Structure 1
Amino acid sequence: MPCFRCGARQTDPVRGASPWRRGVLADHQVLVCPACQAAGGWSDALDHCSCCGSAALVCRLGDVECRECGHTREAVRDEPGRAPEPAPAAPSPGADLSQEVAAALDRVLGRPLT
């Protein structure tokens, strides 16, 4: 799942906590990359808890739950199974998806990197 703001894709995780943050937008789970977190203002675009106002929401099994106060409500979706489209990502140098996939396959299959 790409970042909902910039469209950046997650890379292979390292051990420990992920620097990516979760949130809920239009009752769909979304991710926020570290760069967008550093830019600020990202939580303003997300849904907030109706009880405590926190943006620390998670969506699971058709419910939206606040991680701050524990308030749970049913997720309301216009089109089931369809998440909002992420913002188009600005192309970055060397960000060709086919190259990323080939590199990941090489790592997984133990092939030498070229």
Structure 2
Amino acid sequence: MPCFRCGARQTDPVRGASPWKRGVRADRQVLICPGCQAAHDGSAPLDHCDACGSVALGCRLGEIECRDCGHTREAVRDDAAGEASPAGDLVPSGAHPADTGLSEEVAAALTRFFKRSPGA
């Protein structure tokens, strides 16, 4: 999953805690890369807990749970409204700007790995 702000993708993890921050925005799980955490207030665009106001939320199986106080609520997603792009703009649902070109990148990587020409 790429950073929701800049679209950067995680690399293979090193031992220890990940420098990437998890959060919830528009009832969807998102990741924030270390660079965007340093450049922006990482909590500003994230959803907040209805009970305690924390941004330490996690999304799973249609529920949003606060990792600080344990409050849970049902995730409500309005797919007709679209979703936020890495730049924070709304884009139509189904369009994932961070994934633009991903299939081409995967095809190129497979071609390099198997040392074959595309379409062969």
TM-score, with length taken from structure 1 = 0.72
- Report the Cα distance in structure 2 between the residues aligned to 1:55 and 1:47, rounded to whole angstroms: 6
What is the alpha-carbon distance in structure 1 between the residues aligned to residue 16 and residue 83 of structure 2?
A: 28
Distance 1:86 1:37 in 2: 14
Number of aligned residue pairs:
97
- Does the CA-based 8 Å contact 2:64-2:73 persist in structure 1? yes
| Higher RCO structure, 1 or 2 (CA under 8 Å, sep 6+) | 1
- State the Cα deviation string for residues 17-70 of structure 1 (Å, max 9, x = none): 111110000000000000111123121100000111110100001000001111
Q: State the SS of the aligned residue for 1:11.
A: coil
- Root-mean-square deviation (CA, aligned residues, Å) is 2.8
Once the 2 structures are TM-superposed, how far is the Cα of residue 74 of structure 1 from its aligned partner? 0.3
Does the 8 Å CA contact 1:28/1:83 hold for their aligned counterparts? no
Residues of 1 paired with 2:16 and 2:48: CA distance? Answer: 27
Is 1:78 aligned to 2:78, yes or no?
A: yes
Which residues of structure 2 form unaligned runs of 5+?
A: 88-96, 99-103, 115-120
Runs of 4+ in 1 over 4 A off after TM superposition: none
Matches within 5 A, 1:62-73: 62-73=62-73
The SS at the match of 1:2 is coil
Give the TM-score normalised by the residue count of structure 2.
Answer: 0.69
1:112 maps to what in 2? none
Identity of aligned residues (%): 69
Cα contact 1:27–1:76 (8 A) shared by 2: yes
Q: Give the AA of the match of 1:50.
A: D
- The one-letter code matched in structure 2 to 1:79 is D
Contact preservation (8 Å) 2:5, 2:85: no
